[in-house]
């Protein structure tokens, strides 16, 4: 079982298990990912080519990642 790093509002890194169900993510972050609710987070991130839960949330909320 692996974990996925993401940051809390205070900037602390916390780990989210890759077997977390999408329905939990959708409920917690108030997003609709458009996939089955029983899909696992790790599988979804691989499918979308995303490295982390925080990048997923940024993408779905329409935020731009830092950089240029």
- Is the model's pTM score more than 0.85? no
Alpha-carbon span 21 to 9, nearest angstrom: 22
Alpha-carbon span 4 to 28, nearest angstrom: 16
Contact 31, 60 (CB under 8 A): yes
pLDDT tens-digit map of 4-62? 666 667 766 567 788 999 999 999 999 999 999 999 999 999 999 999 999 999 998 88
């Amino acid at each position: 079982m692996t974990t996925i790093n993401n940051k809390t509002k205070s900037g602390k890194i916390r780990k989210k298990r890759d077997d977390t169900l999408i329905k939990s993510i959708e409920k917690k972050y108030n997003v609709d990912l458009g996939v089955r609710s029983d899909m696992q987070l790790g599988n979804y991130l691989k499918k979308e080519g995303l490295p982390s839960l925080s990048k997923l949330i940024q993408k779905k909320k329409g935020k731009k990642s830092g950089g240029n």
